[in-house]
Amino acid sequence: MAEKLSLMNNVNMSEYSSMKTGGIAERCFFPQDEKQLVDALKTLEREKIKYYVLGNMSNVLVPDGKLDFVPVITTKMTKTEKKEADGKLHVYACAGVKLTKLAYEICDMGYLGAEFAYGIPGTVGGAVFMNAGAYGSEIKEIADFVDFYDIEKDEIQRIDNENCDFGYRTSAFQSRKGVILGASFTFEKGNRDEILTRAKETMQKRIDKQPLEYPSCGSAFKRPEGMFAGKLIEDSGLKGKSVGGAMVSEKHAGFIINKGNATTNDVKELIELVQKKVKEKFGVKLEPEIRIL
């Protein structure tokens, strides 16, 4: 029964993607645990069917129209284990656990280090893959190890933090064939009230500065060294620039938002237009942070 529940037909990806764009997936897997995820991947590999493993789809642009791949979406893999010992909290979270929810639980238990993650709308798998970060902290600082299924070797590997090659919005997993099954994190005991205050202040900064009332993928571009993408875009006169239903946010020029009827092609065209204009004006090539499937 559970096996059957993990497969859905004719899924409209715009209902799942945080940009609220994307076409129809004829088949879509929603594995509920590591075994179902690995089995789904093995089947797809064996049948030579193209696929992408996805989390909360808060950093991906899904193509329009009928998809030529099978999405394997981890958001039903929500098992979490927490253990307190010697003033520390050890957390193991499966790939599909929502980062914001987990971060809040850790803060609420009075442990330090997860405040930055409160408000990042991804899953643990997506956050590890991207080395997600905010306000000066990132996944690299809190991860102990990552469990990874290596498709080529057909084995589950436990990869220590230092071998994850975490960098600015990158990790070793971006160039490896396989899937993140879960990750382990450690947090130190702190002052609960201060921690919760800090987490809530972080969330308030997001509400004040980011266009959260519109669908988006967060920052559309990576920060070029020593600069801010949003400032370069704003200084290129691109605030409010639109292609179809996609628009450079008036509130935060680093965000591309969906005003209501955008397609993925609109967003892609706008990304290219922004890149061209910023390159012309400042000679800087902006690299998308959004992953275009």
Ligand X SMILES: Cc1cc2nc3c(=O)[nH]c(=O)nc-3n(C[C@H](O)[C@H](O)[C@H](O)COP(=O)(O)OP(=O)(O)OC[C@H]3O[C@@H](n4cnc5c(N)ncnc54)[C@H](O)[C@@H]3O)c2cc1C
Tokens of 178: 């396989």
* Whether 81 is catalytic: no
Minimum CB–partner distance for residue 86 and ligand X (Å)? 30
Q: Which pair of tokens denotes residue 122?
A: 């991804």
| 8 Å CB contact between 248 and 256 | yes
Residue 138 CB, shortest distance to ligand X, in Å, is 7
Residue 132 to residue 126: CA distance in whole angstroms: 8
- Among 189, 239, 277, 291, which residue sits at the site for ligand X (rule: CB under 6 A)? 291
Find, among 69, 76, 67, the residue nearest to 30 by Cα.
76
- Indicate if 219 belongs to the active site: yes
Cβ(209)–Cβ(202) below 8 Å: no
Nearest-approach distance from CB 42 to ligand X, in angstroms: 15
What is the spatial distance between Cα 218 and Cα 133, in angstroms, rounded to a whole number? 12
Please identify, among the stretches 39-47, 63-71, 188-196, 215-223, the one whose residues bind ligand X according to the rule CB under 6 A.
Answer: 215-223
Indicate which single residue of 22, 63, 71, 122 sits in contact with ligand X (rule: CB under 6 A): 122
CA dihedral defined by 95, 217, 103, 170, rounded to 10 degrees?
Answer: 60
Phi-psi region of 131 (alpha: psi -120 to 50; beta: other; left: phi over 0): left
Q: Angle 99-108/192-209 helices, nearest 10 degrees?
A: 150
3-state class (DSSP) for residue 239: coil
Q: Known catalytic residue: 289? A: yes
Using CB under 6 A, which of 11, 62, 180, 274 touches ligand X?
180
Q: Least CB distance from residue 19 to ligand X, whole Å?
A: 8
Stretch of 48-56, 78-86, 186-194, 233-241 contacting ligand X, by CB under 6 A? 48-56
CA 57 to chain centre: 6
| From candidates 112, 159, 179, 220, binder to ligand X by CB under 6 A | 179
Q: Give the footprint of ligand X on residues 271-290 (CB under 6 A).
A: none
Residues 51-110 that bind ligand X (CB under 6 A): 52-60, 74, 95
Residues that bind ligand X (CB under 6 A): 18, 52-60, 74, 95, 120-123, 125-127, 129-130, 132-134, 173, 179-180, 210, 212, 216-218, 291
Residues acting as catalytic residues: 169, 219, 289
